[in-house]
A and B are shown apart, each in its own frame.
Chain A
Amino acid sequence: MALTQTEFEAMLNDATKCIVGDIAWQMDEDHSPCLDFRAEVLSGSGWPLFVRGSLNPLIPALSYMLILKTEGRVYGLDMGKDHHNPQCQQVGECHKHRWTEQLRDKEAYVPVDIAASPAQPVDVWLQFCAEAGIDHRGRMLPPPPQTGELFL
């Protein structure tokens, strides 16, 4: 059954959403310069949700995504790359996606609550959790430093 706007708003406003435990950045499946993590989101309502984080320190580009397992990304923050909205405006390199029935996750807007830069993933994480209504009962470990030559 398709997600409705009412369900999405209820999910985002559900103040019982929480992540339990520390979060550590891991190497991705391609062993690329990027780092990832995945954390299950628990809630009283039982939404099948998780957060995926992704960092490309070379750019730097940072993303935190709230993913509903039956729908895909429903809410997310992107930093370090621009976005083009369906109405043909460029949004900017710091933007958020918020699911709607009409456009799903294709429309983005400039958030006012993200003050940190993509080079500060832990600070951005705290700001992301605050607006997404996620109580993180643990801490995010800083990403490990990059080592080695890239490709040249």
Chain B
Amino acid sequence: MSVTNMCADLQRGLGELFSCAPHGEFQCIRTPYLYPDGDNIDLFVKANGDVASVSDLGETLRWLRTQTVSPRRSPKQNALIADACLTHGVELYKGMLLARCRPGDSLAEVTLRVAQACLRVSDLWFTFRTRAVESVTDEVADFLMERQFSFEHGAKLLGRSGRGWTVDFHVRVPAQSSLVYVLSTGSRSAARSVAEHVLAAWYDLSHLAAGPEALRFVSLFDDTADVWTPEDFRLVEPLSAVTRWSQPDEFAQVLAEAA
């Protein structure tokens, strides 16, 4: 195949990858692009006078919502969506990705812009925690940054026994600094040993909770998975403030308040 033939073949073939058919009050464009699980990305066009709107009708964010355990998107995810919209010149309106095709515009170009935005936005799926890209500890770090807490991630501290412990966060606020362990597991059978590990750490580090610069101990349970029993909470409660990741505002309040 010559280079000229290749280009002609490409020109013919690319157009054929997009199909268009009436769909109620819209024209439905089936694109060759796929959401990360393999579902097709469809776009919908509706004309109003000289202007046509090309939209996903909210399908991309609907698809994202059906893939996640989180009830809401994080501020970081919303910022990534806004960035994708900016890059491709696409408007996010009532959960729909859309762009106008004005007189003189190419419908093909507008369609590709919206389709690319759908791809970029749906790729947020790769940041979901169940896809093992981001852990709950990463989410907590994002949260601390958003709330403008000064913190050290993965603080290494020496226990009274001589054993070293890696605490998830050392958070410094004007009133009193805190050490934070994030308790997270997807398995009920592992939940108890996680709580026991944190209990041992707080006990061995208890010398840091005394004196004029006493540190406050905070146990943050990732309760997005229903794996914890009341006994797990009670195990660490005598030595630490117990907080839940489902209630991030309370977690922030515990960090911020004075001793």
Q: Kindly state the separation between the CA atoms of A59 and B43 in the bound complex, as whole angstroms.
A: 10
Residues of B contacting A30 in the complex (Cβ-Cβ under 8 angstroms): 58, 61, 94-95
Whether B37 is near chain A, meaning CB under 8 Å from some CB there, is: yes
The complex places the Cα of A30 from the Cα of B95 at a distance, in Å, of 5
B66 touching A54 by the CB < 8 A rule?
yes
Q: Mark B104-135, 1 if CB is under 8 A from A, else 0.
A: 00000000000000000000000010110000
Q: Are B58 and A33 in contact (CB under 8 A)?
A: yes
Stretch binding the partner chain, chosen from A15-23, A83-91, A129-137: A83-91
- Is B186 a contact partner of A69 (Cβ separation < 8 A)? yes
A: number of interface residues (CB 8 Å): 44
B13 to nearest A CB, angstroms? 16
Residue-wise, chain B 33-58 has the 8 Å CB interface mask toward A (1 for contact) of 01001111010101010000101011
- Within 8 Å by CB of A48, from B42, B59, B98, B225, lies B225
Task: Using CB atoms, name the residue of chain B closest to A82.
Answer: B40
A72 to chain B, nearest CB (A): 4
* Residue from the list B62, B71, B72 in contact with A34, Cβ < 8 A: B62
| A50 vs B48: C-alpha distance when bound (angstroms) | 41
- In the complex the two chains form, is A72's CB within 8 Å of B69's CB? yes
Report how far A56 CA is from B56 CA in the complex, Å: 11
A120 interfacial by beta-carbon distance below 8 Å: no
Q: Does A67 contact B (CB under 8 A)?
A: yes
In the complex, the answer to whether B62 meets A76 with C-beta atoms within 8 Å is: no
Minimum CB distance partner of B128 in chain A: A72
Evaluate contact between A151 and B93: CB separation under 8 angstroms: yes
B67 touches A28 (CB 8 A): no
**Residues of chain B lying within 8 A (CB to CB) of residue A56:** 57-59, 62
Q: Which of B142-168 contact A (CB under 8 A)?
A: none
Q: In the complex, which residues 41-71 of chain A have their Cβ closer than 8 Å to any Cβ of chain B?
A: 46, 48, 50, 52, 54, 56, 58-59, 61, 63, 65, 67, 69-71
Q: Is B188 located at the chain interface by the 8 A CB criterion?
A: yes
B224 near A69 with CB under 8 A, answer yes
Q: How far is the CA of A107 from the CA of B121 in the complex (A)?
A: 22
**A83 and B187 in contact, given A52-B66, A54-B66, A151-B55 (Cβ under 8 angstroms):** no
Q: How far is the CA of A111 from the CA of B188 in the complex (A)?
A: 33
**Contact residue among A50, A69, A71, A83 (Cβ-Cβ distance under 8 Å from B38):** A83
Do the beta carbons of B58 and A34 come within 8 Å of each other? yes
In contact, B58 and A84 (Cβ under 8 angstroms) = no
Given contacts A29-B73, A32-B58, A54-B62, contact A84 B128 (CB under 8 A): no
Judge whether B227 is part of the interface by a CB distance below 8 angstroms.
yes
9 A-B pairs with the lowest CB-CB distances in the bound complex, closest first: A32-B95, A30-B95, A70-B186, A72-B130, A32-B58, A152-B48, A69-B225, A82-B40, A48-B226
Q: A69-B224, A72-B69, A73-B66 are in contact. List 17 more A-B contacts (CB 8 A).
A: A1-B190, A28-B61, A29-B72, A29-B95, A33-B94, A33-B96, A34-B61, A34-B62, A36-B65, A46-B226, A59-B59, A63-B62, A67-B69, A69-B130, A72-B128, A82-B42, A84-B34
Q: Could you list which residues of chain A lie within 8 angstroms of chain B, going by C-beta atoms?
A: 1, 28-34, 36, 38, 46, 48, 50, 52, 54, 56, 58-59, 61, 63, 65, 67, 69-73, 76, 78, 81-86, 90, 97, 105-108, 150-152
> Can you list 19 A-B pairs with a CB-CB distance of less than 8 A?
A1-B186, A30-B61, A31-B94, A32-B94, A33-B58, A36-B65, A50-B69, A54-B65, A54-B66, A56-B57, A59-B59, A69-B186, A69-B224, A71-B186, A81-B40, A83-B37, A84-B39, A106-B38, A151-B94
